[in-house]
Amino acid sequence: MSKFKYVVSEADEGRQVKDIIRNEFSFSRRLRTNLKKNQTLVLLNGVPALGWHFVKAGDTVSIDLPDETSHFEPEGIPLSVVFEDDDLIIINKQPGFVCHPTKGHPAHTMANGIQKYIIDSGQSFKIRFINRLDMDTSGLLAIAKNSHSQDNITKQMAAGKVSKKYIAVVKGLIPDDAGVISAPIGRPDPERVERGVIEGGHDSTTHYRVLRRFEKGFTLVELDLKTGRTHQIRVHLSHHGHPVIGDHLYGGENPLLIERQALHAFYLSFFHPVTGEFMEFNAPIPQDITELIDKIS
């Protein structure tokens, strides 16, 4: 059954199908081009229609999205699925995995695990990451099952309608109960993975709120990202003088406390790309971070 339908009104009488698609569906230009190429995906009263076909009041224009697949090598990586429907899948990612294959990590990624999940569950869709998490950051990871869902939520991000919140344990006692770190982030050395606060970098803003201070010299902090730069939280907190515990890249290394950076994406909210329903998700603090909190309490 088509998930996108529009019933032609009297005011639409005499318009062409392509005008209905352009004005009544919030599709990207790329998707509209794909629909134009594949003439079986656009239906007028249940029959394939061309863009120049005219409509009359009471007609139904419906759209089927094109079938797509990814071609990652499937691997048996455990997935903790928080939510899934025909358009989205939300995963509580464990630390130790990058999102998709790179030169440094050609396999054993979340994409490889999701590919096997797709096969095992009898589905077929292209893996489109809506957000990304660093290898050793845990928490909520959103994947779109079609281009419309990805485009829609990307636009929501640009409009400030997506909320991404993290918790972290950092070195030192942050004096203010809340604040904003606004500093441009860039790549000081193009040959290295590290980012830094540099002149001419991309504008980056992180809001923080102190949840708890520990007498041993640590702070539990909640972070709300207003931009989504690579390593943003880690770079901003280090620049602020309070690197994330366990972060060997940005000065928070302490292998006796935790084996990875103590950073977890615990909250995600947005509007569903098809239904418009407000959706929010939570991922509990993982065991290694709760154990860290016990050690420093």
Phi and psi based region of residue 200 (left: phi greater than 0; alpha: psi -120 to 50; beta: remaining): left
Residue 82 · residue 91 · CB < 8 Å:
yes
Show Cβ contacts of residue 165 under 8 Å, excluding neighbours closer than 6 positions. 222, 223, 224, 225, 265, 266, 267, 268
Compute the Cα dihedral for 114, 275, 5, 25 and give only its sign: negative
Would residue 87 show up in a list of annotated catalytic residues for this protein?
A: no
Choose, from 87, 134, 136, 151, the residue flagged as catalytic.
134
Within the chain, what is the greatest distance between any pair of CA atoms?
73
Whole-number Å distance between alpha carbons of 291 and 253 = 17
Residue 291 to residues 35, 169, 219, 266, Cα–Cα distance (Å): 52, 12, 15, 17
User: Which residues are known to be catalytic?
Assistant: 134
